[in-house]
């Protein structure tokens, strides 16, 4: 069987991307390059002649889900490269994570249709193979990024290929961080200027802006192991006064779990959510994990969250405290709304 040319590259297909360690604040000392942490799919792109591969952070192929990006890379004058970047889909003056997720669809015809209606953009932020075909993994970031800039200039600036901005000014990076959290930026990444590229190692630093929201408890799920509360289902009121399910929190201390279970069971009553309700069983959940108990909307909790997509917390939230001082009707979806103006950083990127 013929061996793929991609596997013969000096940085072969299957190389893991360098990872980032979550920290609380941007570093102050040492030589650092700060970059936006884009809200998309991390992707390593490989090309050897006519062969092109898109590799997700998990190691799986993304090529069939983004055929327009494969075609874009095949159209470049450079015939051999390994690039690190982020796949995003633009909607209006921002990015849509929902549109990215819709691509992970089993039907090829559906993928083809979406690739034409909402084509993806590939944002570049690192280069792992030199123009001569030599590995750049051991080279410092300053050299890798300089070669990436040369690569981008030689590519001729196709519409769906972008070069990620960067700064060495911590104050500028802090401004970027203020724009995070609303389908745009996922935070800020810090890379050492003299650092090498370490596949699979958390050699970078990342900072995420963590916001808080006051939510109504509209229901709960029991723990899988015992009949005690495992997670709280969170809701916010929409403009019509309906309580929409927006996510969950499971960071409940063992000391308060028993008493909280009794309090929730005393409040049990349908419907729990009068607007958008939690979904039923799916291929990711069992019948037990999907089952939930509705409660009267009496309890308010403050939670910390990182990302919002379509008026929902994308991930689980951290329970900070109960808010008996706040009326449930004061907990509205307005807390999750993105800024009225598109972030300047995104607008700048989309103009390049």
C-alpha 148/C-alpha 236 separation (Å) is: 45
Most confident of 22-26, 48-52, 321-325, 337-341: 48-52
The pLDDT assigned to 281 comes to 40
The pLDDT assigned to 237 comes to 96
The pLDDT assigned to 210 comes to 74
Percentage of the chain lying above the pLDDT 90 cut? 67
Does position 328 have pLDDT exceeding 70, yes or no?
yes
For residue 111, name the pLDDT band (cuts at 50, 70, 90). very high
Overall average pLDDT of the 76-103 stretch: 89
Do domains 5-208 and 211-336 share one topology? The answer is no
Does position 341 have pLDDT exceeding 70, yes or no?
no
pLDDT in tens, 178-236: 777 655 677 899 999 999 999 999 999 999 877 889 999 999 999 988 899 999 999 99
pLDDT in tens, 282-327: 333 344 445 899 999 999 999 988 888 888 988 889 999 999 888 9
- pLDDT, greater one: 29 or 340: 29
CATH architecture of the domain covering 211-336? Beta Barrel (2.40)
Helix axes 108-117, 67-74, angle to 10 degrees: 60
pLDDT in tens, 119-170: 999 999 999 999 999 999 999 999 999 999 999 999 988 889 999 999 999 9
Does position 351 have pLDDT exceeding 70, yes or no?
no
CA angle 249–250–255, rounded 5-degree value: 125
Most confident of 22-26, 34-38, 90-94, 146-150: 146-150
> Where exactly are the structural domains of the chain?
5-208, 211-336
Overall average pLDDT of the 27-37 stretch: 91
The pLDDT assigned to 285 comes to 39
Overall average pLDDT of the 59-64 stretch: 94
Q: Which fold has domain 5-208?
A: D-amino Acid Aminotransferase; Chain A, domain 1 (3.30.470)
Overall average pLDDT of the 99-127 stretch: 91
pLDDT in tens, 237-292: 999 999 999 999 999 988 899 999 999 999 999 999 999 999 744 333 344 445 89
- Active-site positions? 37
The pLDDT assigned to 265 comes to 96
Overall average pLDDT of the 49-61 stretch: 94
The pLDDT assigned to 284 comes to 34
Assess contact for 287 and 281: CB atoms under 8 A. Answer: yes
């Amino acid at each position: 069987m013929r061996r793929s040319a991609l596997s013969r590259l000096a940085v072969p297909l299957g190389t893991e991307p360098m990872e980032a360690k979550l920290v609380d604040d941007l570093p102050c000392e040492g030589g650092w390059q700060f970059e936006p942490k884009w809200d998309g799919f991390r992707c390593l792109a490989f090309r050897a002649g006519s062969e092109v591969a898109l590799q997700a952070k998990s190691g799986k192929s993304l090529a069939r889900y983004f055929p327009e990006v494969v075609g874009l890379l095949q159209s470049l004058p450079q015939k051999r490269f390994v690039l690190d970047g982020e796949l995003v889909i633009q909607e209006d003056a921002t990015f849509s994570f929902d549109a990215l997720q819709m691509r992970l669809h089993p039907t090829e015809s559906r993928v083809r249709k979406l690739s034409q209606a909402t084509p993806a953009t590939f944002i570049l932020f690192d280069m792992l193979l030199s123009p001569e075909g030599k590995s750049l993994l051991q080279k410092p970031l300053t050299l890798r990024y300089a070669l990436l800039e040369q690569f981008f200039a030689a590519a001729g600036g196709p519409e769906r290929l972008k070069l990620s901005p960067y700064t060495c000014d911590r104050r500028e990076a802090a401004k970027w961080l203020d724009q995070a959290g609303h389908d745009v930026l996922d935070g800020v990444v810090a890379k050492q200027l003299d650092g090498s590229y370490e596949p699979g190692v958390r050699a970078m630093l990342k900072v995420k802006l963590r916001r808080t929201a006051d939510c109504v408890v509209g229901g709960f799920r029991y723990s899988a192991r015992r009949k005690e509360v495992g997670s709280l289902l969170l809701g916010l009121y929409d403009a019509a006064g309906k309580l929409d399910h927006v996510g969950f929190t499971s960071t409940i201390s063992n000391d308060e779990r028993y008493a909280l279970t009794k309090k929730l069971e005393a409040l049990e009553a349908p419907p729990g959510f009068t607007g958008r309700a939690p979904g039923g069983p799916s291929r990711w959940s069992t019948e037990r994990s999907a089952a939930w108990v509705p409660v009267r909307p009496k309890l308010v909790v403050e939670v910390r969250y990182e990302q919002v997509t379509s008026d929902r917390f994308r991930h689980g939230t951290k329970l900070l405290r109960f808010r008996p001082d706040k009326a449930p009707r004061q907990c509205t979806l307005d807390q999750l709304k993105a800024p009225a103006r598109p972030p300047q950083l995104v607008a700048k990127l989309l103009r390049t």
